[in-house]
Structure 1
Amino acid sequence: MTDASLQRLRIEANGAVQGVGFRPFVHRLAVSAGLAGFVRNTGNGVVLEVEGPAHVLERFVARLDSETAPPAAVRELSILRIAPQGERDFEIMASTQEGGHFAVVLPDLAICPACLAEMRDPGNRRYGYPFTTCVHCGPRFSIIEDIPYDRSRTTMRRFTMCPACRAEYNDPESRRFHAETNACALCGPRLTLWNAAGRARATEHDALRAAADALRSGAIVAIKGLGGFQILVDARNDAAVSRLRERKRRPSKPFAIMVPGIEDAEALAEIVQEERRRLTCAAAPIVLLRARAGQAVVAPAVAPTNAWLGIMLPYTPLHHLLMQELGFPIVATSGNRGGEPIIVDERDALDRLAGIADLFPVHDRVIAHAVDDSIVRVIADEPVVLRHARGYAPLTVELGGTTGDAAPILALGGHGKSAIALTSGRRLVLGPDIGDLDSDEGREAFAGAIDAMTGLYRVAPRTIACDAHPDYHSTQVAQRRSARVEHVPHHLAHVLAAMADNGLQAPLLGVAWDGSGYDGDGTVWGGEFLALEHGRLRRVAHLLPFRLLGGERAAREPDRAALGALYAAFGETALTMMECPPIAALTDRERTLFATMLARGIHSPFTSSAGRLFDAAAAIVGVCRRASFEGEAAIALESIAQRADRSHELAAPVLRDTRGTLVADWRPTLVALAHASHEGMAAPVLAAAFHDALAAIIVEVAWRIGMRRVLLSGGCFQNARLAGLAIARLRAAGFETWGHRRIPPNDGGLAAGQAVFAAQPMIEEKR
């Protein structure tokens, strides 16, 4: 071969190409083809140069595109022909920080089958080791401290590989070739069991066995997992689960459970094919599944009055070993106190979980980023992420439109289910769920997440985007941190997040239904229809507003939402409807006081909220009159609707044109609901009929507006019955329809929408 026959290509690969075995894959591909050159990580992805005959290079590029295997995913290849250098070997070179710091950081991955098999093999040197990993699995985002992804830039840098692990790391034939998390029992993280005072009681497998024994006896155990602590208890033991509820001050919100294997999940819940795929995928989220009728394994206290169970499979070696010891389902809930963020440090856990947990299995691998368990629900046959965390976060989305020249943006989300987003050029990154911002601990975690994410991606944002609500902590943080703040309308952010999720551009009709959102007109929005076209936004329709008795208090007391809705439907006579549960529960004094408040609008703002309308319906049919957590009434209404044994049709809402804006008047539906409930119609039948009526009004508005592309967003579309009915009917009527997929439809997705708006602002047309 003459030098003249050689060519050299420089290839830049962007996407999920770090921490996924992509460099070893490229190395094997190049060596097998007899090519020379190198591959290395950079601050923006991977760069490789390959040298050889033209026809061999052509075949190499084709194989690079076709043979890249998950979890690696190349989004973009840039290929440049350069001068040959006459090299003979191909090597993996040291990483550099060229190209910036916006490489795709991979989420944490569940243990792969090969590592699981080794861990279960008594003849393997990693038998029983609870922290085994390879290039295909294990911690990624939770341990990364800087980009590009190398062991020296992760919390694994504290562990020096033993000779056997180093040999694997340097062996091109090993699946641990350049596995940055490589370790074993001789050189890697170790497990220790602490008592409530922080004293070590056991180590390694003895620690695991002692934790399992404690769980069998009804103890509550706080275990340091992949991205933070989890609180565990025997899910079969109703007394133990109730004790956890009392200690954690969580009276009724369902707990997630972990089961040993997929067969155990199928014994507890009805699982369709897509749900099974989510349970067993590398993200390994909690999946909301319909509980099997009559299952008697899981204690009633796990998910009181709920038709669904949140189930996950073991996803780390540690979890697999523990579940192998136990063989029964356990509650596995977030390691925190109610309303606080998940805990990542073992000493912090001893303090903040004092009085909750009895024992603490901990390890010495530092968690750089807190990552809770993700939650997924299959809606209209598609998986929808409801909590964006382990296995999914951080999420990188390529933006369309004209965002390429936009300056870096930081978006701070809302007040509940907070998360932050960053943009650089056409790339948007949505970080993991942080939690609510009511507590000092939550606000501290929020500030830490901002610093960690902007530091990791080396983004110095010129603009900060936030919610339009002036009292949100995130809004106040934005105003303190920057002079350039974009206050983004809440429901527009929902729609823009869904558009980014689906890669959509205007024009389209966005349906944004949730509990509440600030707009500045004195009304609490939440049942909105927004037309987006040509850089402009119009509120073209909304649900009829009604008084929200007591303001925000009504979100915790569905009875109050019902009183406001009934007052809108019946007027002053509503407070005399003694047959209606919310009215019957009132004292004479309360009846007089509330009638005055509603008539005069005292501490009773108007709301167009679909979420509060669901609360009202739940109270009227008697399934939830007090809520201990957000969405409890709507969840109860959807749960009971699953038990409907026949269909019933309530009076349909009426569309009225009010100064060019359509108003969906739901009062006929609510009147029919109240009358049917009084006449003794079964609550499940009424709950199902209410969902049907609300889904129908979405289709009716879409017909009247005349836009053929419809997008559903907002927390109400976590309701699989509502979203499924709306999507099916819209599609049957000829509309192109989308919901959410990877970005949550709830407030956890707001930051993504805010970032999109800041990059491409829209003009709101008022009517």
Structure 2
Amino acid sequence: MASIGITSKTDCAHGRNTQCGQDVKLADDLAPNVPYLGIMLPYTPLHYLLFAELEKLGATSALVMTSANLSGMPIATELAQVSAQFSGSISAILDHNRPIVSACDDSLVHYAGGKIRVLRMARGYAPVSHFGTGSEQCTGNITVALGAEQKSTIGLALPKQWLLSPYIGDLDDLDTEQRYQDTFHHLAALYHVKPQQLVCDKHPGYHSSQFAQTYHAKANLTTPLLKVQHHHAHVLAVMAEHHLTEQVLGFTFDGTGWGDDQTVWGGEVLLSTPQSYQRVGHLRQFRLIGGEKAIKEPARLLFAILLECYSLAEIKAMQLPAFSAWSEFYFNNLYQLWQSGSQSPYTSSMGRLIDAWASLLGLVDKVGYEGECGLQLELAAMCACSESALSFDISKANLIDWQPLFSAQLLQRIATDKSDELRHELALAFITAMANVIIAIARGYSHLPIALGGGVFQNRVLVDKVFELAKQQDLSIFCGETLPANDASIAAGQLWYAIFQHNN
């Protein structure tokens, strides 16, 4: 088994490793501005031979490993692919004559909430099979779950068993889409089955959903195509992993998911069973100014939130650092977009609120990679020496209102105090406020287990705090361990839904 873990890289005061009690020199361009490093155990004889050669040379340095693929592309499995992608940019290629039948990335795990938790389920961990409680429900059709659009995986339900494929990747390019379809057919061939039932996400624009529609029609399946709401599937994935079959209170916080009201969800509180759910709470909505562009430019998200609380003139007068490069024309143009419903849809996404808070603190200007705002907020929180008191408002209907976080007094403080200490303090305060709101709502359903799902729960600081508070309140709480909290587990949730539909 190959395993990759994540370890803390530096402390904030001295920029040095503190886990092993000694200074460790690291290259400046090795995971810059990221608080963790992945540590991989050698899993092939070749790795051992490379280290042996280094030892002969008297070298004590670690080897820096990365996948043989360009960013966003699936890993290359043939010499021709490597040559085409990296022509002229690498010195040499070490190849072998054994074909790679099924490509598999390296797995990624970390430690949070007192448990080792998988972030990317691949080599050494997948395909993962589940038996036991709930699995005996797998007595109906051979079912295939098509997963989500990002971090895609495919699930398969067989008699008395269900399983999940290794991580495939984001379905935003032709190469990954082909790898996705190959995995679909490979799983069916590997287990000598023919899909009889398909289940997918409700989002009509997902490649996974479109593939399900196309295959369902071509295969002339007599069973209906099942569709599961994205955030319900997140909760169901936690239920599936932990073999929960009764009602739970699910908190599903992520960046994007197709909501039943046609808005973008992502900060949801769901009373969930394997068959259905009830939305009993959610984050207060705000607009995505310019749609997808707001995800890459988090200051737009901050601007949209402030426009719900203040006038345009008041926001300009605040002179917040996040807007320092904005011209009068740009301010006014985005204001017009904000007023346009079609070009600035509403969202209840906790992931997007995190982006806005990171922008407010000056942590991220332009997003360079997925999850950057959340990771930078986590790093800042880890550096905090003190903590401010911040809190959401919660209505009787469990509307999670962020407006108290953006008080005029606090915004004025941020505009005038540019210190790192303040940014660190407010980063930790925000994460603590998220943890507190989860526990406050959960206390109203104390007889139910809590299920945490969605990419936001990859945040170590948040998960640590939620589990600590839940223990203090004697609340039962579950989050992904062998299955990731992110969209890679969506297929498992879809399977759990389909399995119990057969027996409904």
TM-score by length of 1: 0.60
1:315 to 27, 36, 43: 43
Gaps of 5+ in 2: 17-22, 55-59, 218-223
Shift of the alpha carbon at 1:349?
A: 1.8
1:146 aligned residue = none
- What are the superposed Cα offsets for residues 88-140 of structure 1, whole Å, 9 maximum, x if unpaired? xxxxxxxxxxxxxxxxxxxxx2xxxxxxxxxxxxxxxxxxxxxxxxxxxxxxx
Identify, as 1 or 2, the structure richer in strand: 1
In structure 1, the residue matched to 2:52 is 324
- Spell out the pairing of 1:595-610 with structure 2 (5 A cutoff): 595-610=335-350
SS in 2 for 1:526: strand
Residue aligned with 2:480, SS: coil
In the other structure, the counterpart of 1:559 is: 299
Structure 1 residue aligned with 2:393 = 654
Higher relative contact order (CA 8 A, sep 6+): 2
2:20 equivalent in structure 1: none
Change in CA separation of 1:444 and 1:574 when aligned onto 2, cut-off 3 Å? farther
Q: Tell me the equivalent position of 2:131.
A: 398
* Cα deviation code 1:272-301 (max 9, x no counterpart): xxxxxxxxxxx4224343435325522121
Cα distance, 1:386 vs structure 2: 0.5
Distance in 2, matches of 1:571 and 1:491, equals 33
Matches within 5 A, 1:637-648: 637-648=377-388
Q: Which residue of 1 aligns with 2:19?
A: none
- In the TM superposition, residue 304 of structure 1 has moved relative to its aligned partner by 1.4
Partner SS state of residue 362, structure 1: coil
The amino acid across from 1:442 in the alignment is T
- Alpha-carbon distance in 2 for matches of 1:698, 1:638: 18
Indicate yes or no: 2:406 matched with 1:670.
yes
The percentage of counterpart residues that share the same residue type is 34
In structure 2, C-alpha distance between the alignment counterparts of 1:309 and 1:285, rounded to whole Å: 10
- Residues 378/421 of structure 1: CA separation in 2 closer, same or farther (3 Å cut): same
Deviation at 1:614, TM superposition (A): 0.5
Q: How does 1:14-413 map to 2 (within 5 A)?
A: 109=1, 283-291=2-10, 293-294=15-16, 295=23, 297-326=25-54, 327-398=60-131, 400-401=133-134, 403-413=137-147
Superposition deviation, residue 348 in structure 1: 2.3
Contact 2:247/2:448 (<8 A) preserved: no
Kindly indicate whether the alpha-carbon contact (under 8 Å) linking 2:235 and 2:272 is maintained by their aligned counterparts in 1: no
Letter in 2 for 1:317: P
| Cα deviations by residue, 1:168-197 (Å, 9 ceiling, x for unpaired) | xxxxxxxxxxxxxxxxxxxxxxxxxxxxxx
Whole-Å Cα distance in 2 between the matches of residues 577 and 717 of structure 1?
36
Q: Contact between 2:439 and 2:470, CA under 8 Å: does it hold in 1? A: yes
TM-score for the superposition, normalised by structure 2: 0.91
Select 2:153's aligned residue among 419, 427, 442: 419
Name the CA distance, whole Å, in 1 between partners of 2:321 and 2:314. 12
Say which of 203, 207, 214 aligns to 1:469.
Answer: 203
Give the distance between the partners of 1:755 and 1:695, measured in 2 at CA: 29
Secondary structure at 1:619's aligned position in 2? helix
Q: CA deviation at 1:644?
A: 0.7
Shift, 1:457, TM fit: 1.1
- Look up the SS of the partner of 1:331 in the other structure: coil
Contact 1:464 1:486 survives alignment (8 Å): yes
Checking the alignment, whether the CA contact within 8 Å between 1:522 and 1:606 is kept in structure 2 is no
Question: Which amino acid is the alignment partner of residue 655 of structure 1?
Answer: I
Distance 1:314 1:512, change over 3 A: same
**In the TM superposition, what is the alpha-carbon distance from 1:323 to its structure 2 partner?**
2.2
The alpha-carbon distance between structure 1 residues 596 and 384, as it changes in their structure 2 partners (threshold 3 A), is same
Q: 1:523 Cα shift?
A: 1.4
Contact 1:527 1:609 in 2 (8 A): yes
Distance 1:415 1:574 in 2: 39
2:204 and 2:100 mapped to 1: Cα distance?
Answer: 33
Distance, in Å, in 2 between the alignment partners of 1:520 and 1:708 is 24
* Aligned residue among 232, 240, 252 for 1:512: 252
Contact 1:288 1:376 in 2 (8 A): no
Question: Are residues 569 and 706 of structure 1, via their aligned partners in 2, closer, same or farther at CA, if it must alter by over 3 Å?
Answer: farther
Amino acid paired to 2:238: A
Structure-2 residue corresponding to 1:576: 316
Structure 2 CA distance, aligned partners of 1:434 and 1:288? 24
- Alignment CA distance shift 1:286-1:345 (3 Å): farther
- Counterpart of 1:203 in structure 2 is none
Deviation at 1:533, TM superposition (A): 4.3
| Residues 322, 583 of structure 1: alpha-carbon distance in 2 compared, 3 angstrom cutoff | same
Residue ranges of structure 1 left out of the alignment (5+ in a row): 1-108, 110-282, 763-767
Residues 288 and 462 of structure 1, relative CA distance in 2, 3 Å threshold: farther
- How many residues align? The count is 478
Contact 1:513 1:528 in 2 (8 A): yes
1:579 Cα offset (Å): 2.3
Would you say the 8 A contact 2:229–2:260 is kept in 1? Answer: no
Change (3 A) 1:574 1:547: farther
| Alignment correspondent of 2:361 | 621
* 2:52 partner amino acid: Q
Deviation of the 1:724 alpha carbon? 1.1
Hey, what's the Cα distance between the residues in 2 that align with 1:679 and 1:648? 17
- Structure 2 distance, partners of 1:473, 1:425, is 28
| Secondary structure at 1:291 match in 2 | coil
- Deviation of the 1:574 alpha carbon: 5.4
Cα deviation, 1:504-528, whole Å, max 9, x if unaligned, reads 2222101100011002412100001
Return the alpha-carbon distance in structure 1 between the equivalents of residues 324 and 388 of structure 2: 26
| CA distance in structure 1 between the aligned counterparts of 2:68 and 2:314, rounded to whole angstroms | 45
What one-letter code is carried by the residue in structure 2 that aligns with 1:549?
Answer: I
Q: Is the 8 A contact 1:498 1:739 kept in 2?
A: yes
Shift of 1:303: 1.2
Counterpart of 2:395, as a letter, is R
Asked if structure 2 preserves the Cα contact closer than 8 Å seen for 1:528 and 1:542, the reply is yes
Does the 8 Å CA contact 1:577/1:584 hold for their aligned counterparts? no
**Matches of 1:643 and 1:504, distance apart in 2:** 37
1:434-473 to 2 correspondence within 5 Å?
Answer: 434-473=168-207
Listed one character per residue, the Cα deviations across residues 356-399 of structure 1 (whole Å, up to 9, x for unaligned) are: 43211111222111111111010112011001101101100126
RMSD (Å), alpha carbons: 2.0
Equivalent-residue separation in structure 2 for 1:374 and 1:676 (angstroms): 42
| Higher Cα radius of gyration | 1
Per-residue deviation, 1:636: 0.5
Shift of 1:706: 4.3
Aligned-pair CA distance for 1:629: 0.9
